[in-house]
Structure 1
Amino acid sequence: MGSSGRKDLEALEASVGHGFVNRGLLEHALTHVSGSTARTESYERLEFLGDRVLGVVVAHLLYETFPAESEGELSRRLADLVRKESCAEVAERWGVGPFMRLGDGEAQTGGRKKRAILGDMCEAIIGAVYLDGGAAAAEAVVREAFGARMQTQGRRLRDAKTSLQEWAQARRLPTPCYRMTSRSGPDHAPFFKVEVVVEGFVPAEGGGASKRVAEQSAAQAFLDREGIEREGT
């Protein structure tokens, strides 16, 4: 890579918040399988690592930030924060698109704007930061990228059932129906699974430490699967 390429990557590093000692790791994280000669040369292995690092760091931050919340509430927040759509939004803020290494076919079909790829590359970059700078560097990047979302997600999470009901009513569909599909665990720590049924759609399932949490989780799963934007997002 020439000097102009290195300079461009410096801009991305500044956006991510980490200056790489081994810039090859960043280049690896930006390489889609369509732009590599072998799957092991793409971002997929770094994505695998970054997904786990992201989950651990966000879980730690949630534990610190919301000391009064239950395990079920923390789990809902975690699922919302680390889902692919959230990671894609972070990658967009970082300005990853122009730096992607894509095959010609993927580039011509809008690969630089595909949220699945953006989400994957966000996780891959986090994995690359972890390998390059260690756990503290990765935590700093995740805290900066995801910290603000923790403070603004609460109302959106609580509104999942309401948002789904309003969406169904706007389409003159019957009110969504929730039914428990299973209950497991001991009496002092039960875990419920609930599915939400919307006429004309495949049911969506969610789980949690109470029926209320499980219903919210199922509603959110339906909204995510169908690509329905909630109020406040």
Structure 2
Amino acid sequence: MHDNLEEILGVTFQNPQFLKLALTHRSYIYETPGVGLSSNERLEFLGDSILALISADFLYRTFPTLTEGELTDVRAVLVRTETLANFAREINLGQFLLMGKGEQNTGGGQRVQASAFEAILGAIYLDQGLEATRQFLLPRLEPLAQTIVTKRLFKDNKSLFQELAQAHAGITPAYRLVGQEGPSHNREFTVEVMLGEQVAGRGQGRNKQTAEQEAARSAIASQGWQIS
């Protein structure tokens, strides 16, 4: 079984125990009697740091015009749970994981998949070194990073809509609170975002900031503007 995964990964492990450890979820340990079994949590810890280093190094070298804050925002999108779980699904990692029955029934959620992917990075690093880990990871990170930067997907909705509005209409959006309902502990705010006299979008949220972000998201969708 591990041979198949090694083929998918493009990595032949000198010490297969690293790979087995990376695939062992803690739920499997709880349900399997035996001595000396360990879960992939320590490898996940290591892989998380390696992911941060490789992604930071890549972004720094590849996008010299991005500010420190923008680099941080791009990396946050690259290393979030959803992204890593997608990487795990692309290599069918879930079918190789050792999990307890409860996790098996769900197929392992996003967090399990993402953690296992980080553990795989830790395993490759321990077995093959940093450069081999970089060669495994970068083909996955690079196209996604290019898309994120080109389309400014690391921007929050308000920042992105302001960029779009200024580029396409020469107008800076303005936000106005048009309603609030409910008791103080459970209030819902309604905000409109204006382009001049035009209502470009409307949003609701539990606080004004969330409502403004939702209004900006609505406005981006309704205007149909794209950053190419």
- After TM superposition, the score normalised by the length of structure 2 is 0.67
- Selected match of 1:174 from 184, 190, 202: 190
Deviation at residue 198 of structure 1 after TM alignment: 5.5
Deviation at residue 119 of structure 1 after TM alignment: 0.4
Q: Provide closer, same or farther for how the CA distance between residues 98 and 73 of structure 1 changes in structure 2, counting only shifts above 3 A.
A: same
Counterpart code for 2:122: G
User: Corresponding residue for 1:106?
Assistant: 103
Deviation at residue 15 of structure 1 after TM alignment: 2.1
Q: Residue 111 of structure 1 contacts residue 117 of structure 1 at CA under 8 Å; is this kept in 2? A: no
1:148-167 paired onto structure 2 within 5 Å? 148-154=143-149, 155=151, 156-158=153-155, 160-161=157-158
Q: Distance in 2 between matches of 1:86 and 1:126?
A: 15
Query: Are 1:18 and 2:11 counterparts?
Result: yes
User: Corresponding residue for 2:132?
Assistant: 137
Q: Deviations over 1:120-168 (max 9, x none)?
A: 00100000000000111111111122121111112222363368xxxxx
Deviation at residue 203 of structure 1 after TM alignment: 6.8
Query: Are 1:59 and 2:75 counterparts?
Result: no
Q: Distance in 2 between matches of 1:176 and 1:50?
A: 43
Q: Between the two proteins, what is the percent identity of the paired residues?
A: 34
Query: Are 1:200 and 2:206 counterparts?
Result: yes
Question: What is the aligned residue count?
Answer: 175
Query: Are 1:83 and 2:80 counterparts?
Result: yes
User: Corresponding residue for 1:124?
Assistant: 119
Q: Residue 189 of structure 2 contacts residue 207 of structure 2 at CA under 8 Å; is this kept in 1? A: no
Secondary structure of 1:158 counterpart: coil
Counterpart code for 2:87: V
Q: Residue 73 of structure 2 contacts residue 155 of structure 2 at CA under 8 Å; is this kept in 1? A: no
- RMSD across aligned positions (CA): 3.4
Secondary structure of 1:21 counterpart: coil
- After TM superposition, the score normalised by the length of structure 1 is 0.66
